[in-house]
Amino acid sequence: MIDLHTHTNCSDGTDSPAQLVNKAINEGFSLIALTDHDTTSGWEPAKVALRANLSLALGAEISCLTTDGISVHMLGLLFDGAHTEMQIMLENTRDGRIPRALKIIELLNAGGFKISMDDVESVKPEGATLGRPHIADALVKNGVVSSRDEAFAELLHNNSPYYVSHLAPTPEDAISMIRKAGGVAVIAHPFASLRGNVLSVADFMPLKKAGLNGIEVNHRDHNNDERIALAKIADELDLVITGASDYHGTGKLNSLGENLTSQAQWERLESEADQRRVITA
């Protein structure tokens, strides 16, 4: 079983990297990819915890914004974690999340919802990439809503009056950087329309030209028609098809392995990295 998209408490998941690795071993996975938002800080603790037959593809889910302001998530896998420019890009995005959270908090306060940056800091694990799920957790703590899910449904979704985007690279820039750092780029949940505006079919060709390797087709935020449409695009552009859970621990309903990537698709994806970077125990 191969699951190419997971989060830990290094971003907005709730398991530590070691807990995630142990869970994957206990549940019989052959390979998981670690893809925290805009950070590689979980790589080392995940490697340390690795044992048995599990393999690790280290990566990150890079937040991107198109020039039209559409939010896109790009999975970078198997890149060199010591690549300086890549680390600077990730750091800039993490830094941009702080003023963005402050703006969201200001809008929420103006709307009559009680929350402060201190509240958010108190629920966020130290060092984790700051995201809306932490704002959600602070709203739960303050009794404004009862769950992360309710916070997103009522206040934090992309079309909300309280939504603010943050500084982020374009999808093309993120793809180029991932490839320059030796890795492979897979666009995450591209047709997840519940999250807001999404790319159109014509937008995939420029991404392919920028070096895109694959499309995350099988994801819980895609219905059957969306999966069929994406598989067709992947076929036409000769891109790898992946499936993944986007596991966030108890932070989201997604269960590890609820969507999977086939061994054949994985082998092709892995062969497109500049060297063998899969970690084994």
| Residues in region 38-67 near Fe ion by CB under 5 A | 61
Minimal distance in Å, beta carbon 269 to Fe ion? 17
Closest approach of Cβ 172 to ligand AMP, in Å?
Answer: 20
Q: Which of 42, 45, 131, 169 binds ligand AMP (CB under 6 A)?
A: 131
Task: CB nearer to Zn ion: give 12 or 172.
Answer: 12
- Categorise residue 200: left if φ over 0, alpha if ψ from -120 to 50, beta otherwise: beta
Between 98 and 201, name the residue whose CB sits nearer to ligand AMP.
98
Contacts with ligand AMP, 37-76, as mask; x by CB under 6 A: x-------------------------x-------------
Please report how close the Cβ of residue 243 comes to ligand AMP at its closest, in angstroms: 16
Strand partners for 186: 75, 214
Q: Using the rule CB under 5 A, which residue among 32, 39, 65, 73 binds Fe ion?
A: 73
The reply to whether 190 sits near ligand AMP by the rule CB under 6 A is: no
Binding to Fe ion, residues 102-161 (CB under 5 A): none
| Binding of residue 226 to ligand AMP (CB under 6 A) | no
Q: Between 25 and 102, whose beta carbon lies closer to ligand AMP?
A: 102
Of 120-128, 137-145, 244-252, 264-272, the segment contacting ligand AMP by CB under 6 A is: 244-252
Tokens for 197, please give them: 């505006």
Q: Is residue 246 part of the contact set for Fe ion (CB under 5 A)?
A: yes
Tell me whether residue 191 or residue 273 sits nearer to ligand AMP (CB atom). 191
Instruction: Using the minimum distance from each CB to ligand AMP, give the nearer residue, 136 or 217.
Output: 136
Angle, helix 84-110 to helix 132-141, in steps of 10 degrees: 40
> Encoding tokens for residue 140?
């739960």
* Partner in contact with 148, chosen from Fe ion, Zn ion, ligand AMP, none, beta carbon below 5 to 8 Å by kind: ligand AMP
Query: From the list 94, 124, 132, 222, which residue makes contact with ligand AMP (rule: CB under 6 A)?
Result: 132
Secondary structure string (H, E, C) spanning the chain: CEECCECCCCCCCCCCHHHHHHHHHHCCCCEEEEEEECCCCCHHHHHHHCCCCCEEEEEEEEEEECCCCCEEEEEEECCCCCCHHHHHHHHHHHHHHHHHHHHHHHHHHHCCCCCCHHHHHHHCCCCCCCCHHHHHHHHHHCCCCCCHHHHHHHHHCCCCCCCCCCCCCCHHHHHHHHHHCCCEEEEECCCCHHHCCCCCHHHHHHHHHHCCCEEEEECCCCCHHHHHHHHHHHHHCCCEEEECCCEECECCCCCCCCCCCCHHHHHHHHHCCCCCCCEEC
Q: Which residues bind ligand AMP (CB under 6 A)?
A: 12, 37, 63, 131-133, 148-149, 152, 248, 251-252
Which positions lie near Fe ion, rule CB under 5 A? 61, 73, 188, 246
